[in-house]
């Protein structure tokens, strides 16, 4: 069988059992079955992250989640620290600019890890 790849953010190999699960009939989001699947997913995420706090599941790309963080936590003119050492950091800088935030940019080479002491 030819290997299948998920191309975002990948390429990431997709296990055959995942491909088969994607071939199953869709579950409507207002059914009890969907509610049960969602509740299990939230509980499993709480276990994975070892938290009793709320976890959020976004049906968006990583950029959508990043944008949500800015628009829900900050207002135009707020000062934010943005660390950039690659594509996603650059995207955070662009989003901060797009939403009128006063971004303090800590820029690093792509191969350099951000030092928490710099913040």
Q: Please, how many CA atoms are within 13 Å of residue 94, restricted to the half-sphere of its CB?
A: 8
- C-alpha radius of gyration, the chain, whole number: 19
For the segment 55-91, what is each residue's pLDDT rounded down to a tens digit?
A: 999 988 888 999 999 999 999 999 999 999 888 889 9
Which domains, ranges and CATH numbers included, belong to the chain? 16-57 (no CATH), 62-118 (3.40.50.720)
How does residue 44 score in pLDDT terms, banded at 50, 70 and 90?
Answer: very high
Phi, psi of 91 (to 5 degrees): -65, -40
């Amino acid at each position: 069988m030819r290997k299948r790849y998920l191309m975002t953010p990948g390429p990431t190999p997709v296990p055959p059992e995942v491909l088969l699960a994607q071939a199953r009939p869709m579950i409507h989001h207002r059914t009890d079955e969907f509610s049960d699947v969602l509740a299990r997913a939230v509980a499993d995420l709480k276990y994975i992250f070892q938290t009793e706090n709320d976890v959020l599941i976004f049906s968006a790309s990583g950029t959508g989640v990043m944008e949500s963080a800015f628009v829900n936590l900050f207002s135009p003119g707020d000062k934010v620290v943005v660390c950039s050492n690659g594509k996603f950091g650059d995207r955070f800088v662009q989003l901060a600019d797009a939403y009128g935030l006063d971004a303090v940019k800590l820029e690093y080479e792509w191969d350099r890890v951000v030092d928490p002491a710099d913040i």
